[in-house]
Chain A
Amino acid sequence: MNEGESSFVEQLRSGDEAAYEKLVREHSRRMLAVARRMLRSEEDARDAVQEAFANAFRGLDRFDGLAQLSTWLHHIVVNACLMRLRTRRRKPEASIEDLLPRFQDDGHRVEPGPAWRAIGPDPAEERELCTRVRAAIDSLPEIYRTALVLRDIEGLGTAEAAATLGIAQEALKMRVHRARQALRTILDPFYTEQTA
């Protein structure tokens, strides 16, 4: 934490209303983006951001300044989203098995398919890819999507992502690997289609 941020935190701790408003206005956009990615529901995302700020306000005295304020708030909103995911009524999970590569008895892959073409530099094609990636991630079963979002999008390390989800590191690695493989399968037609 730099000097400017340190004095800003002091303002917050002293109850400075203007500092609180600055904090909310500066950080809520990024926090809302995280919550939307994780929860896929505008209403839930807004509730999670509100809850995250409430937790942050309460925990301000415990903020040790080792991380940046933005990093600290990021962790808090991720946890608020996870709490919300845990309390959602559980729906039967779709199976991910159909999206994983299949193998013959000798260990060779069944129908390997063609190599992927390179994408770009056409910006329209890159945009199309981004749309497909987001939709594909949205379609993954929740336990796999959450693991992928924490690890590959929110950038948490394996230990941190596993601890956040309350699972063993090996289980986290397995979920992330399966999620990536499923994503790869969903994107395969886009990368192997013939272009004029």
Chain B
Amino acid sequence: MTDAALLTCLELIDFIAAYLDGELATAERQRFDEHLRRCQACVDYVDSYRETLRATLVAFEGEDEIPESVPEELVQAVLASRRR
């Protein structure tokens, strides 16, 4: 592979989401992987992008964001609107 075929860091970062979603064609994926083999800064960036996705999921998963109860006046307002 020649250097001309290598992605720049800018191009690699543009492609991260598609890379992680498995949407890159084989040739593009190979160029992406080749860049990562040569560029520690981009390895770190991809890792941190992945960690951002994980942290987003963790911050909103589970029951802690779901309120333990809903204000009774809201329940009553919903039920009252149906009866109208």
Chain A interfacial positions (CB closer than 8 Å to B)? 20-21, 24-25, 28-30, 32-33, 37, 46, 49-50, 53-54, 57, 101, 103, 106-109, 112-116, 119, 126, 129-130, 133-134, 137, 148, 152-153, 173, 176-177, 180-181, 183-184, 187-188, 191
Contacts and interface: CB of A to CB of B under 8 A. Distances in A.
B41 A28 contact: no
A177 B17 contact: yes
Interface of B: 8-11, 13-14, 16-18, 41-42, 44-45, 47-49, 51-53, 55-60, 65-71, 74-75, 77-79, 81-82
Say whether chain B's binding surface is mostly helix, strand, loop, or mixed: helix
A144 B82 CA distance: 35
A187 B59 contact: no
Given A37-B65, A109-B42, A116-B51, 13 more contacts: A25-B75, A29-B66, A29-B70, A33-B67, A107-B11, A108-B9, A109-B9, A119-B51, A137-B59, A153-B60, A176-B17, A177-B14, A187-B55
Contacts of B55: 119, 129-130, 133, 187
A103 B14 CA distance: 12
A28 B59 contact: no
A180 B16 CA distance: 11
A142 to B, nearest CB: 17
Contacts of A134: 59-60
A107 B10 contact: yes
Contact of B67 (A32, A101, A173, A188): A32
A152 B17 CA distance: 12
Interface hub of A106, A173, A177 (most chain B Cβ within 10 A): A177
